[in-house]
Amino acid sequence: MIDPYMQLDLRKQNQWAMHARKDHEAFSALQQSLTPLAELIAKHRLEFVRKSKRFQGKNEEEVLAYILDEIWAVAFPRALDKFNESQKFAFGTVFSWWAQHLTWSFIDRNLQQETQKDIKIE
């Protein structure tokens, strides 16, 4: 005979698994749709900011930091107003991943440039 408490626990686990699968599907859909959009926004913002007199003479790292701050402060809260709780979590995760990816790709590019300079000097 199956213990009724164990049966209840199995039902809860199945419900949680179903919700986790739905959240993962929502996360995947958001990641696929938002990553190219976020990259496009950042690319256009980078061009705009580079042309701005306020950033004349600033290095790319300072410009990138400004853009990420601007996106976090303006675009992110506006987008979150339109989402339910699981979508907010998924969007936040995608956005965090994208911001880290953008930052690390920028760092990698700079390291490669520095390494190339070092190689040319030797």
Tens digits of per-residue pLDDT, 59-105? 767 776 777 676 666 666 666 666 666 666 666 666 666 666 666 66
- Residue positions counted in the chain: 122
The token pair at 81 is: 């107003």
Is 35 a residue whose pLDDT tops 70? no
- Res 59: pLDDT: 72
